[in-house]
Amino acid sequence: MVLKLKTSKFNWRFILAFVWFYGYSSVKRGYYYVLSYLALPLSLLFFIYIVSRGHLVQYAILGGIISIITGNALTAIGDTSFFKLELKIQELLIAADVSPIEYLLGIGLGNLFYSLPGLLLYIILGFIYKIFSLQLLGLTILILVIVMVAATSLAYMTGSRVTHMRNSWGVGSFLSVILTMLPPLYYPYTFLPKIALYPLMLSPATPASIFLQDFMTKGVINYYSILILIAETIIYSFLALKFGKWEE
């Protein structure tokens, strides 16, 4: 049976408790998880700094921030499958009358909390390299929240329909590479021909990167990219609620 949206008010006690369980406890139990998700963005940042002799480091820092949020949100593919198939947590939540939207919020905000150490590191780097003004930092935080919702919706829709755990990790890794490595996160999107940007727009990281790059380099708001990002978030959230498996 597909997901059903509950009309009553959100159970914020559950959402905050799940954020604590899914986000804070993960960092507390193993800080090496933080190092693992930082390894690829920092490696790419170093590589781009060397190759471009520092000229593209600003793009790599902005791209790393988006990559952390998108990549961590997509790890929910494996986590939701594990909770559903192995731990049977989803059955307990259904019995406790937790709605799917509350579950999605718990997962998304938990990943956002889990990502905070990496985000703080990149924000510090952004100030060191004089990327962030207060206005750009505020817009970046807003964009990251929207990207988190879109990517978490994609992750849950995919992870809830996986029938075996061994498939979930492969699907999650594949989508993470496709949705964070191919989009123009670590380099100017103007390097790509316009026709190449169209299929890449399917990743919420792409319009997010275009929006932030334009504001960083030109000081303008790219309404086209923000509208695409918002539309994608609405569509992916709807698809998660429509096709994600909540009750059997």
Q: 71-123, pLDDT tens digit by residue?
A: 888 888 888 888 888 878 888 888 888 888 999 999 999 888 888 888 999 99
Q: 20 or 31: which carries more pLDDT confidence?
A: 20
* Residue 33 clears pLDDT 80, i.e. is over it: no
Q: 132 or 246: which carries more pLDDT confidence?
A: 132
Name the region of 54 (left: φ>0; alpha: ψ -120 to 50; beta: rest): left
- Tens of pLDDT, residues 113-164: 888 888 999 999 999 999 998 899 999 999 999 999 999 999 998 888 887 7
Mean pLDDT of 222-241: 95
Say what the pLDDT of residue 30 is. 67
Q: What is the mean pLDDT of the chain?
A: 87
Query: Distances from the Cα of 245 to the Cαs of 11, 100, 130, in angstroms?
Result: 20, 9, 45
Residue 2: phi and psi, rounded to 5, are -80, 170
Range from 61-65, 91-95, 189-193, 225-229 carrying the lowest mean pLDDT: 91-95
Q: 3 or 183: which carries more pLDDT confidence?
A: 183
- Judge contact between 86 and 165, C-beta under 8 A: yes
- 3-class secondary-structure state, position 2: strand
* Residue 27 clears pLDDT 50, i.e. is over it: yes
Query: Distances from the Cα of 243 to the Cαs of 14, 83, 160, 246, in angstroms?
Result: 23, 18, 9, 9
Mean pLDDT of 59-64: 93
* Residue 7 clears pLDDT 60, i.e. is over it: no
Mean pLDDT of 218-228: 94
75 closest CA partner among 15, 156, 19: 156
Say what the pLDDT of residue 3 is. 43
Ordered by start, the domain boundaries in the chain are 12-242
Rounded Cα gap, residues 52 and 66, in angstroms: 20
Say what the pLDDT of residue 248 is. 56
Say what the pLDDT of residue 220 is. 93
Percentage of the chain lying above the pLDDT 70 cut: 95
Q: pTM value?
A: 0.88
Say what the pLDDT of residue 232 is. 96
